[in-house]
Amino acid sequence: MAERVCVAQIGPAHGVRGEVKLWSFTADPLAVKDYGPLESEDGSATFEIEALRPVRDHLVVRLRGVSDRDTAERLTNTRLFVPRARLPAAADDEFYHADLIGLSAVTADGRELGTVVAIHNFGAGDILELRAADGRDTMMVPFTDATVPVVDIAGRRIVVDPPQETSAEDTPPNGKE
């Protein structure tokens, strides 16, 4: 399991006083402030949230020591981590996304599909990125109960029921029935 977990990512500057947009990856987005100092991915910088407020699909935060737009802009796309020990233990049927990275992905009949290399969310739900066993190609699968019916953290694997692919001959001309 990961020693540190990514809990947020800094977005662009918000205004001229050093505030930034922040995307929180915690179950309760406002809880990101409760985990103490946040660290950059390489551990070279720490950040403390002084104030935050929800705005649409993100938070606007003021970070200690960041008081102008230029400094805020240099932080854009910084991923923020906390030591796993600071996070609450996951319930029996829960897990952190970081726990999925590196798990083997297999079909229900045991055929190897590859390894989980990333979890993405482009706004319509989580998507798992799987690297094929040959290491060359990746595939994206929706992270839903229907597509991923089994997550076995202890066994270091997930079971994937890949969506049926649509071939050109299955598609009506002009996309109409």
79-133 pLDDT tens trace: 999 998 888 888 777 888 888 999 999 999 989 999 999 988 777 788 999 999 8
Tell me what pLDDT residue 176 has: 47
Better-predicted residue by pLDDT, 133 or 64: 64
Tell me what pLDDT residue 167 has: 44
Tell me what pLDDT residue 170 has: 46
Provide the pLDDT confidence category of residue 2 given band limits of 50, 70 and 90: low
Q: Structure pTM?
A: 0.70
For β-strands 157-159 and 104-106, DSSP reports them as parallel
Question: Is residue 166 a part of any domain in this protein?
Answer: no
List all residues 6 or more positions away from 32 whose beta carbon is below 8 Å from its beta carbon.
7, 8, 22, 24, 25, 26, 38, 49, 52, 59, 80
Euclidean distance between CA atoms 114 and 104, whole angstroms? 6
Among the candidates 86, 113, 134, a domain finishes at 86
Euclidean distance between CA atoms 130 and 28, whole angstroms? 27
Are 41 and 110 within one domain?
no
Question: Is residue 177 a part of any domain in this protein?
Answer: no
Provide the pLDDT confidence category of residue 165 given band limits of 50, 70 and 90: low
Are 104 and 55 within one domain?
no
Kindly state the tokens that stand for 44.
Answer: 């070279």
Could you tell me the residue range of the domain that residue 105 belongs to? 97-159
17-32 pLDDT tens trace: 999 999 998 888 999 9
29-32 own/partner pairs: CB under 8 Å, 24+ apart: 29/54, 29/59, 30/54, 30/59, 32/7, 32/8, 32/59, 32/80
CB 9 within 8 A of CB 23: yes
Are 79 and 105 within one domain?
no
Are 150 and 103 within one domain?
yes
- Structural domain count of the chain: 2
Tell me what pLDDT residue 166 has: 42
Q: Determine which of 21-30, 33-42, 48-57, 117-126 has the lowest per-residue pLDDT on average.
A: 117-126
CATH value at residue 60: 2.40.30.60
